[in-house]
Amino acid sequence: MSVTVDHKVDSGHSGADLGVRDRLVRAATDLFLAKGYAASSVREIVEAVGVTKPTLYYHFESKEGLYLTLMRRIAEEFGGLVQGLREVEGSPWSRVKALCLGVFGFCEERRPLVRLAYSIYYGPPQGAPEFDFDVYYFSLASAVEELVAEAVAAGEMRDVPVRETAFAVFSILDTAMELALNHPDRNPTAKGLERLLDILYRGLRPDEGAHP
């Protein structure tokens, strides 16, 4: 299992250093996902990369530091994605769809890292360092709610309860992501997700029953 990660060049690290860091991140992601955080050792991580323990300690100080680097990386990418999608142009409902499809695409592109975050958040305690996942979860929920409120205000939707309607949108997105991450054979794909959102929207339009 491999991870495609975008890097920013860190001051003080050479290109070779960044290559080693990336390989350590990938190896740790694979092991944490396969065995859990607590059961994965520094020895296993460095052996998978072909380096020594001091190399890992040089780059991350500890296994905890490596884990937190993983979590911060995906959180920063996700946070930047949500913020960018909140600001796209278009009608409120088109932006709701763009947000949902963008987040779904992110989960597919970053599948190993996202699955790791899910396993830590929803799984049994693994002794992993504490990390606040909720702030990113609620940032997405808040973005969906704000866009639904704009759609209602713009007359794209009937005068429906905003919070409950946003919850329905978010539930469709969340279910699609869960299936894509954990049951690839039942992955609705982006097209399927878009169809589901369109079905919901038909019942929300002022001219209920019309095709979007």
Element (H, E) at 178: helix 162-182
**Could you report the per-residue pLDDT of 165-184, keeping only the tens digit for each?**
999 999 999 999 999 988 88
Picking from 164, 144, 171, 146, the residue whose alpha carbon sits closest to that of residue 204 is 164
**Could you report the per-residue pLDDT of 85-134, keeping only the tens digit for each?**
888 899 999 999 999 999 999 999 988 888 888 888 888 777 888 888 88
What is the average pLDDT score of the chain?
Answer: 86
pTM for the model: 0.80
Question: Cα dihedral sign for 150, 74, 198, 176?
Answer: negative
Query: What angle, 0 to 180 degrees and rounded to 10, lies between the N-to-C axes of helices 111-122 and 92-109?
Result: 90
Distance in angstroms (rounded) separating the CA atoms of residues 173 and 104: 7
Query: CB within 8 A of 9, min separation 6: which ones?
Result: 18
pLDDT of residue 121: 84
Q: pLDDT tier at 212 (50, 70, 90 boundaries)?
A: very low
Query: CB within 8 A of 92, min separation 6: which ones?
Result: 147, 148, 150, 151, 153, 154, 156
Q: pLDDT tier at 193 (50, 70, 90 boundaries)?
A: very high
**Could you report the per-residue pLDDT of 37-93, keeping only the tens digit for each?**
999 999 999 999 999 999 999 999 999 999 999 998 888 889 899 989 888 899 999
Query: CB within 8 A of 101, min separation 6: which ones?
Result: 190, 193, 194
Q: pLDDT tier at 18 (50, 70, 90 boundaries)?
A: low
Q: Return the CATH fold of 15-202.
A: Tetracycline Repressor; domain 2 (1.10.357)
pLDDT of residue 125: 73
pLDDT of 12 > 50? The answer is: no
Distance in angstroms (rounded) separating the CA atoms of residues 82 and 103: 7
Distance in angstroms (rounded) separating the CA atoms of residues 75 and 152: 30
